[in-house]
Amino acid sequence: MTITKGGQEIAPADLAVGDRVALREDRAEDGTYTVTDLVVILPTVVGEVTAKTADTITVAGRDGTSTTIHVDADTTYRVAGREAADLADVTVGMIVFAQGTERADGSLDAVTVNAGNFRRGFDSDGGRFPWPKGPWAPDAPPAPDASPGTGSVG
């Protein structure tokens, strides 16, 4: 069985009480299951970029709250339309989906940052609907590369 966290393989001893996990399973002919992979689901922040510094990205959530995402040399970036992205490719107005470790103050130390300029639509009242639908939607859990079956350790 493989255990991963933030895309990196970890040892069972690296799991912590309270970690959210997803399982990948194989079903045997007799109906039993064998867990083949366990993925630790990292805390996630989604929002529209309102500011950026050399080591932070500030986003506004759908409810208007502001969250700071801390980035460093170890942060991995995926930006729509870029083959090899970095912080310079993330701009104000983009929608960001970041995963990492949550700090006590609610900010996030990002392991990964996904960003893009997504087509915007209108809500039923004719106003701006600033959030894309689908896996980027703030109400949708991150899409781990695992089969259904999530839970917590401990």
pLDDT digit string, tens, across residues 37-47: 999 988 999 99
Strands (E) across 84-132 are located at: 95-102, 108-116, 121-122, 128-129
Question: For position 60, what pLDDT does the model report?
Answer: 95
Asked if the structure places residue 153 within a domain, the reply is no
What are the CA-CA distances from residue 154 to residues 16, 19, 20, 120 (Å)?
Answer: 8, 8, 10, 41
Contact criterion met (CB below 8 Å) for 67 and 61: yes
Q: How far apart are CA 142 and CA 41, in angstroms?
A: 8
Question: For position 150, what pLDDT does the model report?
Answer: 54
Parts of the chain with a pLDDT under 70? 119-154
Where b means 16+ CB within 10 Å and e means fewer, 93-130 reads: ebbbbbbbeeeeeebbbbbbbbbbebeeeeeeeeeeee
Question: In the predicted model, what is the mean pLDDT of the chain?
Answer: 82
Residues in the chain: 154
Question: For position 119, what pLDDT does the model report?
Answer: 54
Question: For position 71, what pLDDT does the model report?
Answer: 97
Asked if the structure places residue 146 within a domain, the reply is no
Domain that holds residue 20: 2-41
Q: What are phi and psi of 48, to 5 degrees?
A: -95, 130
Q: How far apart are CA 131 and CA 139, in angstroms?
A: 10
pTM over cut 0.75: no
Asked if the structure places residue 139 within a domain, the reply is no
**pLDDT per residue as tens digits for the range 64-85:** 899 999 999 999 999 988 889 9
Q: Does residue 122 share a domain with residue 102?
A: yes
Q: Does residue 54 share a domain with residue 37?
A: no
CATH code for the domain in which residue 100 is found: 2.40.50
Question: For position 100, what pLDDT does the model report?
Answer: 93
Q: Does residue 18 share a domain with residue 54?
A: no
